[in-house]
Chains A and B, each alone.
Chain A
């Protein structure tokens, strides 16, 4: 059984069919790329997987458990964490608090203990603090812990968003265009970064990306989406030559 099984997902927005009959399997430890032209439905797939949208039809199984209908926070608790195409950090919160927030559900104290700062409050907060700091230190961000997230340079904001996702110790990490707005050296660094966290955190990763350099460089396998439907699936070098993919991307009829 695969770690994650997305089965026949369809999503309509009014008359528009953003995703149609989409299926995907993720094996533990895989790094899969989800590519496709603008508006193909890639982000919508992420939104469905993380519970932002409830699909019109279809099922999603994580370790055999159906995720459809669960709230975003419940799905997060089951080990799915993501980043966003347009960075969505908590801008006015500190870097440290952005990371600490992601462990909200794992903090074992109740509202009463929080109101009076008694009971498990102290120990739990110290634990999470230690964890957040060591996580930031791992990526050389500890000096920025007290800085507001909005004050970080763009590249670091992208990185912080990934760290925030890692903070909850997810099993599956969904990255939505992590290289957007980056220049080649930055992309190079990002690739190393993704490979590093993949290994160190034993992650299964699904990533959306337009930067072919990154996709071809680090993905084990690619899935190509166009107009909401999967048009191709395979190893990166196969996809590169796939006629339908070329057509979708370049708008040319190959072989005509």
Chain B
């Protein structure tokens, strides 16, 4: 109970801070910008972790869903919303982008999860390419030149709120029967099916939720940059998100927060190095795979990210001394 209070207070304090910092100009605008990217990366990483980490599937087209969210929300704020109301309607635009992305997610997942086997990687790869070339050919959103005219509607408090909402919702999902279903799909899909889980439905739902938040991240991203073009959402961007997921650790929201933070900050620190950072990060990843294949925080969770009920129950029992009598067989 005490922890719940503390979390609530800390979340509120965090919100106040996210408002005060830019308002009073406590930090360099450049650092503010990095902080916003960091938040967006957390949303991207945590949402992809749902599919790749918790569920053990391999989706490689997260940037495609991000693109859908970015374009849809931008078209909403620039072309459809009244000029004066844009600020207030911004959350609607972001949710709209998320919904569009989740619809795309639904379309992608239905054929991908039709049968067992690993079609998802191929389908999502193709999806990423299709989205990019489709956008390049739609003149009304600028084609290859890109789309602009958005105001900088994404602010630090907004990013903060969306990060909290994303993590909270993903945590709720993970600690529910659907989350257990996802983990069981990762562990043994056939056995999971035989335990009464409608595995295909669970997979599609997880994918749709994951795509939604990728779309939200896209919407926020577009309204930081105020300019988007199809190349921003290519396979490199998807790879970057994959790196953050595996760096932080599979099946861990805490891991995703860590992974996104470390990656974003490292990339900024290495900016001076230019082309070298494109060598250093993959190298880091290879080292990680060799020495810590689960990622920094894989399959673990910060206590404050675990619902109270589960926390009390799932705390591993300390060294069971008087273990039940059955000795190891075979």
Contact = CB atoms under 8 A, between A and B. Distances in A.
Same complex origin of A and B: yes
Interface of A: 50-52, 71-73, 76-77, 81-82, 84, 88-94, 96-97, 100-107, 109, 111, 114-117, 121, 125-126, 128-129, 133, 140-141, 143-148, 153-156, 159, 164, 168, 180-183, 186, 189
23 contacts: A51-B194, A52-B194, A72-B193, A72-B194, A84-B191, A88-B188, A90-B184, A92-B186, A93-B184, A97-B180, A100-B180, A101-B177, A101-B181, A101-B197, A105-B196, A111-B205, A114-B172, A125-B176, A144-B320, A147-B316, A154-B328, A154-B330, A156-B324
Contacts of B329: 154-155, 181-183, 186
Contacts of B194: 50-52, 72-73, 76, 81-82
Contacts of A145: 313-314, 317
Contact of A104 (B177, B314, B316, B327): B177
Given A129-B313, A148-B316, 10 more contacts: A50-B194, A92-B186, A92-B299, A101-B180, A111-B178, A114-B177, A145-B317, A156-B326, A159-B326, A189-B326
Contacts of B184: 90, 93, 101
Shortest 5 CB-CB distances between A and B: which pairs? A155-B326, A181-B330, A114-B176, A90-B187, A76-B196
B149 interface: no
A92 to B, nearest CB: 6
Nearest to B209: A115
Nearest to B330: A181
A38 to B, nearest CB: 17
Given A159-B326, A181-B329, A189-B326, A73 B307 contact: no
B255 to A, nearest CB: 14
B138 interface: no
Contacts of A92: 183, 186-187, 299
B146 to A, nearest CB: 34
Contacts of A50: 194
Interface string B300-330: 0000000101000111110010011011111
Residue among B192, B205, B329 with max Cβ neighbours from chain A (10 Å): B329
Interface of B: 169, 172-173, 176-178, 180-181, 183-184, 186-188, 190-199, 205, 209, 299, 307, 309, 313-317, 320, 323-324, 326-330
A168 B326 contact: no
Contacts of B323: 153
B315 A146 contact: yes
Contacts of B196: 73, 76-77, 102-106, 168
Given A90-B187, A93-B184, A146-B314, A155 B193 contact: no
Nearest to B324: A140
Contacts of A140: 324
A115 B193 CA distance: 22
Contact of A88 (B176, B186, B191, B307): B191
Contacts of A101: 177, 180-181, 184, 192, 195, 197
B187 A115 contact: no
Contact of A168 (B188, B193, B195): B195
B313 A146 contact: yes
B169 A115 contact: yes
Contacts of A84: 191
B180 A147 contact: no
A182 B329 CA distance: 5
Contacts of B198: 71, 73, 105
Residue among B190, B191, B196, B324 with max Cβ neighbours from chain A (10 Å): B196
A154 B198 CA distance: 29
Given A90-B191, A91-B187, A125-B309, A114 B324 contact: no
Contacts of A129: 309, 313
B199 to A, nearest CB: 7
B4 to A, nearest CB: 13
Contact of B173 (A71, A102, A114, A153): A114
Contacts of A144: 317, 320
Contacts of A73: 193-199
A68 to B, nearest CB: 16
Contacts of B320: 143-144, 147
A128 B175 CA distance: 13
Contacts of B190: 52, 72, 88
A99 to B, nearest CB: 10
Contacts of A90: 183-184, 187-188, 191-192
